[in-house]
Amino acid sequence: MNLLLTSGGITNRSIRDALVNLLGKPIAESSALCIPTAQWGHPMCGPVSARRFMTDQTPSALGGLGWKSVGLLELTALPSIGRDRWVPWVREADVLLVDGGDATYLSHWMRESGLAELLPSLPDMVWVGLSAGSMVMTPRIGPYFVEWPSAPDDRTLGVVDFSIFPHLNHELLPGNTLAAAERWAADMTVPCYAIDDQTAIKVVGDSVEVVSEGDWKRLTP
């Protein structure tokens, strides 16, 4: 699986070009599945934001990029319908578009649904994360970002060996300063990236590349 871990979505040409490179074909020829599950674990999200992620014709919403087809994959429903139904849906898609919210909630349902177990068998799949949809691939997110009351701790899937502080210097998140990111990183155990919404991290195998038209910084614990 190849990863495009974004803070704010496909917000500029450089990130869009990185996505097309990972797909190996135009967006208009690619099939996508949207995963809104992380939203249900965060108090700032709800039905309206989930609908916007799926339907808004804006790049940052991911669903509005002009895909050949766009479907919905709600992870909380998968355990009740059986793998024989949903696994083919995933295997037939070119890309999974994974929305933000709470990364610990998303991590929980990726394991409960069986999607986390399936991912290693999808070498050609592209995972595009937005905020928590990116952070879920890291080993930990830090207590600062845990909003789900039932989260046992801040651990996530650990697919990559670094952690992400998203929305750096975002106008609606005044606490997300570089100084705050440095304090956050001091309590982590792996290298970290503080990235703004014009930045993404492209991961192909062992190769990690920062794609940015904005601000970012690599931080060490």
Closest CA to 16 of 132, 73, 95, 70: 95
CATH number for the domain harbouring residue 183: 3.40.50.880
Q: Would you state the structure tokens that stand for residue 63, as one six-digit string?
A: 């669903």
Length of the chain: 221
Q: Can you give the residue range of the structural domain that contains 175?
A: 2-219
List, for residues 132-162, the tens digit of each pLDDT value: 999 999 999 999 999 999 999 999 999 999 9
Residue 60: its pLDDT value, please?
A: 57
Phi, psi for 51 (deg, rounded to 5): -65, -40
Q: pLDDT tens digits for 169-214?
A: 999 889 999 999 999 999 999 999 999 999 999 999 999 999 999 9
Distance CA 188, CA 88 (A): 37
> Residue 166, class by beta-carbon neighbours within 10 Å (0-12 exposed, 13-18 middle, 19+ buried)?
buried
Nearest to 129 by CA among 161, 86, 95: 95
pLDDT of residue 61: 66
pLDDT at site 163: 98
| Nearest alpha carbon to residue 32 among 113, 110, 95 | 95
pLDDT at 16: 96
Contact 97, 34 (CB under 8 A): yes
Name 83's Cβ contacts closer than 8 Å, sequence gap at least 6: 114
Burial of 179 (0-12, 13-18, 19+ CB in 10 A): exposed
Number of compact structural domains in the chain: 1
pLDDT of residue 43: 72
- pLDDT surpassing 70 at residue 29: yes
Q: What's the CA gap between 108 and 38, in Å, rounded?
A: 10
The sign of the dihedral angle between the CA atoms of 129, 8, 99, 218 is positive
pLDDT in tens, 67-125: 999 999 999 999 999 999 999 999 999 999 999 999 999 999 999 999 999 999 999 99
pLDDT in tens, 41-76: 887 777 777 667 766 655 556 888 999 999 999 999
Give the pTM: 0.94
Q: What is the mean pLDDT of the chain?
A: 93
Give Cβ neighbours of residue 173 (< 8 Å, ≥ 6 apart): 167
CA distance 210 to 217: 10
